[in-house]
Amino acid sequence: MTHLLLAIIYIAFISLGLPDSLLGSAWPSIYTEFGVPLSYAGIISMIIALGTIVSSLQSDRLTRKLGTGKVTAISVVLTALALFGFSTSHSFAMLCLWAIPYGLGAGSVDASLNNYVALHYESKHMSWLHCMWGMGATLGPYIMGFALTGGNGWNMGYRYIGILQIVLTAVLFFSLPLWKSSNTFTLDHTVTSKKPLTLSEIIRIPGAKEVMLCFFCYCALEQTTGLWASSYLTLYKGIAPETAASFASLFFIGITIGRALSGFITMKLSNVQMIRLGQVFIAVGIFTMLLPATQIFSLIGLIIIGLGCAPIYPCIIHSTPAHFGAERSQAIIGVQMASAYIGTCLMPPLFGIVANKITVALLPLYLLGVLLIMILMHELLTRKTGTCIGKEREG
């Protein structure tokens, strides 16, 4: 039963990744069709992020009431409905409207599933599960590129993903009895029986503010890259929109491959060491993008940045119980998710303004600034919580 449930969670992580990279790959076609400024992608991204912030902050309460299985299934239903809404939209206002359930469906499931895995499985499984997210995020742009090159338009790309989400939703609903099996239910019940912490109580926990800012910066970097890579390649490097949509997926390919490898490396390195290694790779990727001349450097840089991003998210999540204790991990992960989506909400749109007012060529420098803040926050976090590297690796 435990292995079957793990397989279901793998499928759920694929469903989380499928829609995440669609907007960035479709936007070069959408904004020209609707006649809106390039920077308006940031508005849709902001609405989605606001919805995820709200649902992430409620994840502790919802998971205690409904359990991880039901929260996951209901959230994926919301996302699937939103994707079908996108596929029928013919105005920018309709996209904004459907972005609301899109965001609400993402937050709770993200926090709930990540906490469940952090408590019940080893770090290698967290990396491999997020590799499944990368597979979904990589598949998304390819499906969108297939729709665009086939002459079906970006609407059909969203529809294809919506159909896949419906299939995954059915699998999740049929799997609900597995979440109530004796082993997993006992562990889940132990964690969910405590009283939910308030936001003010969480913020006062040593290291909480630092991990929130660390997540803010990580997701700001990841989402800014994912959202603007296609536009950067099209407008600055002169690559055709259809080709750029596929090339932008190289970033997500880097994340996917990196997380597959990270699962093995976590057997030797601690979560803290993995995060530092990832930060070094991101820096190398950014400096590669800054190299002049041919387009190949930008493509290689995107892959390296993706490889660097690979271990950071899952390792920060998995280290949460070690940093803050199992009884507080769901609450902490909820605010981490909220902080991540605040980064998603603010930073990609902010770069949209920079690209619109100055130039999209500043993307690598923008990412570098965010990376430096993330490095500082993570080092402060490890100092304040005093996590033992050896103990964390064992956990």
Low-confidence ranges of the chain (pLDDT < 50): 182-193, 388-391, 393-395
Task: Please state, as a whole number, how many other Cβ atoms lie within 10 Å of the Cβ of residue 292.
Answer: 5
CB-based burial of residue 99 (10 Å sphere; 0-12 exposed, 13-18 middle, 19+ buried)? buried
For domain 2-176+205-394, the CATH superfamily is MFS general substrate transporter like domains (1.20.1250.20)
Q: Classify 217 as helix, strand or coil.
A: helix
Question: Each residue of 346-381: b (16+ CB within 10 Å) or e?
Answer: bbbbbbbebbeeeebeebbebbbebbeebbebbbbb
Residue 3 CB contacts under 8 Å (≥ 6 apart), including other chains: none
* Domain chopping of the chain, boundaries: 2-176+205-394
Q: Classify 257 as helix, strand or coil.
A: helix
Handedness of CA 245, 249, 12, 174 (dihedral sign): positive
The model carries a pTM of 0.73
| Sequential DSSP letters for 109-165 | HHHHHHHHHHHHS-HHHHHHHHHHHHHHHHHHHHHHHHHHHTTSHHHHHHHHHHHHH
At 51 the pLDDT is: 87
pLDDT digits (tens, 9 = 90+) for 193-216: 467 777 888 888 889 999 999 999
At 220 the pLDDT is: 93
- Rounded to whole angstroms, the Cα distance separating 78 from 310 reads 27
Dig out the tokens for 298 from the structure: 């930008």
Widest CA span of the chain, in angstroms?
Answer: 60
At 190 the pLDDT is: 44
Residue 335 CB contacts under 8 Å (≥ 6 apart), including other chains: 56, 57, 199, 202, 203, 208, 212
Residue 110 CB contacts under 8 Å (≥ 6 apart), including other chains: 16, 52, 56, 59, 337
CB-based burial of residue 237 (10 Å sphere; 0-12 exposed, 13-18 middle, 19+ buried)? middle
Task: Please state, as a whole number, how many other Cβ atoms lie within 10 Å of the Cβ of residue 184.
Answer: 20
